[in-house]
Amino acid sequence: MVIEQFGWLIPVFPLVAFLLIVGVTYRFKLLSAIVATFFAGLSLALSVLIMVQKVINPVTTEKFINWLSISTPTQTLLNIQLGYLMDPLAAVMSFIVTLVATLVLLYSIGYMKGDEGFSRYFAYISLFTFSMLGLVISNNYFQTFFFWELVGLCSYLLIGFWFFKPEAADASKKAFITNRWADFGFLVGIIGLFTVFGTFNFGQLATQIPQYQNALILLGLGLLVFLGPVGKSAQFPFHVWLPDAMEGPTPISALIHAATMVAAGIYLVARGYALFYSVENVMQVIAYVGGFTALFAATIALVQKDIKRILAFSTLSQLGYMMMALGVGSMTSGMFHLTTHAFFKALLFLGAGSIIHAVHNQDIFKMGGLAKKMPISSWTFVIGSLALCGIFPLAGFWSKDEILTVTLQHHFVGLFVLGTLVAFLTAFYMFRLIFIALFGQKRSDHHAHESPWTMTLPLIILAVFSIFAGLVNTPWFYQWTGFSFSTLVYFHEPEIPVIHWSIAGLSTVAALLGIFTAWMIYARRLISADMLATKMSFLHRVLSNKYYIDELYAWLFKYVMLGLGKVLDFVDHVVIDGLFDGTAGAIRATGVRLRLFQTGRLQQYALLIFVAVAILVLWGVR
């Protein structure tokens, strides 16, 4: 129990690393990397200890200090806490974040070697990890929002790490601003919650919300708060930033896609589940937004050529799965998929980084034949892909099966069909990538070679997790140890894991079919990919251009927002200035005219006086 009292140190370690790097070790590149990795490792060790403790005794620890309060002499009107909430959910999330962060840091030592901004990079990642962990252990919406925004800032800094590349600068700005639009809703939602319930605290809200009667207000608040996760977890229609976010260094993509950014949205929905769960319509919105995103992104991934872009759309799609799971009513399965996905998506991105590092190219059609040149990177990549596709008995199999099962159990038949279809598409696009990039002939003049151990070791560790992590939510594991993921992380009632072989079989068939189709087209070339592309050229063009949504947003920004700005600028300069300058001008002009009467010539005044007197006299005489 003692160790848990120090759980708030989990985010503090990376903060210390950040401050140390910025303040002390900035000039000593390797030292900066060691500091960052070491402190992240400390956080990881502490997270593991706490998670073990949560497994043994799943109680909730909450501590806080009052950070800000506004009051009248008689009552407190607003009280904001700086809090520490450690329950199994937070423990699992801390573990994922610190594990991925530590591995990414280790990996980056090799990957970022020779970069001018080496220390800056490690400082940013430390700050990123700190922000994410601060969010994870938060006990209230305000603090969550606080760190939520810092997470957004760090993603901005890291996506735009190579600020001299115009694409990177654009992408970082896009990420921040897209998230800002979503956070607008989140912020209004939090303030609305405070206005209605008078608190930001998760626990207090969880007890008050179910008793609250006005469903319409809850619906509004639920949807507003949900906008935050829609942005952060890149759900449709706020997904546009995530594919562009690959402009950052590749390890950052691993971090963003697996642990520190997009996971925040899913985590928030789980953390604030009491709010969403209380209104059925909100849950439906979450489920359908997630389901739609899953399908939408998977279709785009089918035709992309950039290895990171394919993975990015895959992340979008998988996040859609998680949202869908949360929306249909199973917090456990959403969080479980988040966990397994963190491992294999981090693995895939780091693997992709290793490949890009070797061939200096991101176009899969310029790779080919890598499996022989870089076996560790390639085969771990295959493991990650199999896990992602949900092939038995890898991690993704268990979590995806779980999601499809709960979707059907909660009578979302449409979403179930959709989810199965996505499983097929996922397998297809991943193995399209694999057959083109890793196997077959060399497609360009590259001299690929295996990466150094600091890069391959994280791959191996993540591959091990990608294989075995799913087992923690199987009946066998439960019988053996007496606990499972679903008895640890749950809303209301713990569940004992069961396997639905029919659903598992169906999704496995879908995935195998996807792999088989990809094999037919891209390995055996029984069907020509080019022919398909020309036959369905319209569809191909739409998918390649990501349904033109980026173009639509760019148009809206340019013509609506900037246009409005120009109109208002015109109003300022011409209408308002015209009015006031005109008034001043009119006064001045009047003055100029009136001045003519004050010539200073006495004769003129005398003449005027004479004329005036004459008029008066004549008038009097009459």
Partner 1 sequence: MSLLSYIILTPFIGAAMLVLIPEKQTTFIKLVSALFAFIGLALSFYLFLNYDKSLGGMQFVENIPWIKAFAINYKLGADGLSVSMALLTGIIWFAGVLVTWNLQERVKEFFIYMLILVGGVFGVFLSLDLLVLFIFLEIAVIPKFILIHIWGSGKKEYSAMKYTLYLLAGSAFSLIALILIYIHSSTLDVTQLALITYSVPFQKFIFFLLLIGFGVIVPLWPLHRWTPDGHSSAPTAISMLLAGVIMKLGGYALIRVGIGVFPAGAAFWAPLIAVIAVVNCIYIALVAMVQKDLKYVVANSSISHMGYVLIGIAAMNTISLTGAASQMFAHGIMAALFFALVGAIYNKTHTRMLADFGGLAFQMPRAATLFLITGLASLGLPGFFNFVAEFLIFAGAFKVYPVLTTVTILAVVITAIYVLRVVQQMFFGPRNPKWDSLTDLKGIELVPLVFLAVILLWFGLVPSSITNLINQGIDPIVAQIGGAL
CB atoms closer than 10 angstroms to residue 168: 21
The least CB distance from residue 597 to partner 1, in Å, is 24
Considering only 64, 107, 124, 146, the residue that binds partner 1 (CB under 8 A) is 146
The least CB distance from residue 231 to partner 1, in Å, is 11
- The maximal CA–CA distance of the chain, rounded, in angstroms, is 128
Question: If binding is defined by CB under 8 A, does position 580 make contact with partner 1?
Answer: yes
Residue type, 377: S
Mark 431-470 with x for binding to partner 1 (rule: CB under 8 A) and - for no binding. Answer: ----------------------------------------
Considering only 63, 113, 180, 305, the residue that binds partner 1 (CB under 8 A) is 180
Q: Which of 349, 348, 297 is nearest to 318 (CA)?
A: 297
Task: Please give the Cα distance from 361 to 359 (Å, whole number).
Answer: 5
Tokens of 528: 């020509």
Question: If binding is defined by CB under 8 A, does position 266 make contact with partner 1?
Answer: no
The least CB distance from residue 181 to partner 1, in Å, is 6
Mark 537-566 with x for binding to partner 1 (rule: CB under 8 A) and - for no binding. Answer: ------------------------xx-xxx
Mark 46-85 with x for binding to partner 1 (rule: CB under 8 A) and - for no binding. Answer: ---------------------xxxxxxx---xx-------
Q: Which is nearer to partner 1, 509 or 564 (CB)?
A: 564
Task: Please give the Cα distance from 455 to 377 (Å, whole number).
Answer: 9
Angle CA(279)–CA(282)–CA(287) in degrees, nearest 5? 125
Q: Which of 276, 292, 281 is nearest to 326 (CA)?
A: 276
Considering only 19, 26, 58, 170, the residue that binds partner 1 (CB under 8 A) is 170
Task: Please give the Cα distance from 508 to 172 (Å, whole number).
Answer: 38
Q: Which is nearer to partner 1, 247 or 401 (CB)?
A: 247
Q: H or E element: which one contains 83?
A: strand 76-86
Helices marked H in 519-576 — which ranges?
A: 529-535, 537-544, 549-555, 562-570
Torsion of CA 174, 175, 180, 183, to 10 degrees: 150
Which among 180-188, 204-212, 377-385, 428-436 is the span making contact with partner 1, rule CB under 8 A? 180-188
Q: Which of 26, 37, 23 is nearest to 111 (CA)?
A: 37
CA 438 to chain centre: 29
Q: H or E element: which one contains 414?
A: helix 413-437
Question: If binding is defined by CB under 8 A, does position 516 make contact with partner 1?
Answer: no
Q: Which is nearer to partner 1, 113 or 173 (CB)?
A: 173
Considering only 176, 241, 288, 397, the residue that binds partner 1 (CB under 8 A) is 176
Q: H or E element: which one contains 61?
A: strand 61-71
Considering only 41, 58, 192, 494, the residue that binds partner 1 (CB under 8 A) is 192
Task: Please give the Cα distance from 141 to 148 (Å, whole number).
Answer: 10
Which among 5-13, 27-35, 158-166, 271-279 is the span making contact with partner 1, rule CB under 8 A? 158-166
Q: Which of 246, 292, 239 is nearest to 265 (CA)?
A: 239
Tokens of 279: 């209104």
Residue type, 470: G
Alpha-carbon distances of 206 from 12, 273, 367, 392, 396, rounded to whole Å: 27, 8, 52, 38, 31
Question: If binding is defined by CB under 8 A, does position 115 make contact with partner 1?
Answer: no
Considering only 584, 612, 614, 616, the residue that binds partner 1 (CB under 8 A) is 584
Question: If binding is defined by CB under 8 A, does position 280 make contact with partner 1?
Answer: no
Which among 190-198, 241-249, 293-301, 394-402 is the span making contact with partner 1, rule CB under 8 A? 190-198
Question: If binding is defined by CB under 8 A, does position 576 make contact with partner 1?
Answer: yes
What are the residues whose beta carbons fall under 8 Å from the beta carbon of 245, sequence distance 6 or more?
155, 159, 171, 175, 253, 256, 312
Question: If binding is defined by CB under 8 A, does position 147 make contact with partner 1?
Answer: yes
Q: Which is nearer to partner 1, 281 or 583 (CB)?
A: 583
Q: Which is nearer to partner 1, 78 or 509 (CB)?
A: 78
Which among 25-33, 306-314, 479-487, 578-586 is the span making contact with partner 1, rule CB under 8 A? 578-586
Q: Which of 76, 90, 18 is nearest to 47 (CA)?
A: 90
Q: Which residues are near partner 1 by CB under 8 A?
A: 67-73, 77-78, 142, 145-147, 149-150, 153, 156, 160, 163-164, 166, 169-170, 173, 176-177, 180-181, 184, 187-188, 191-192, 194-195, 561-562, 564-566, 568-569, 572, 576-577, 580-581, 584
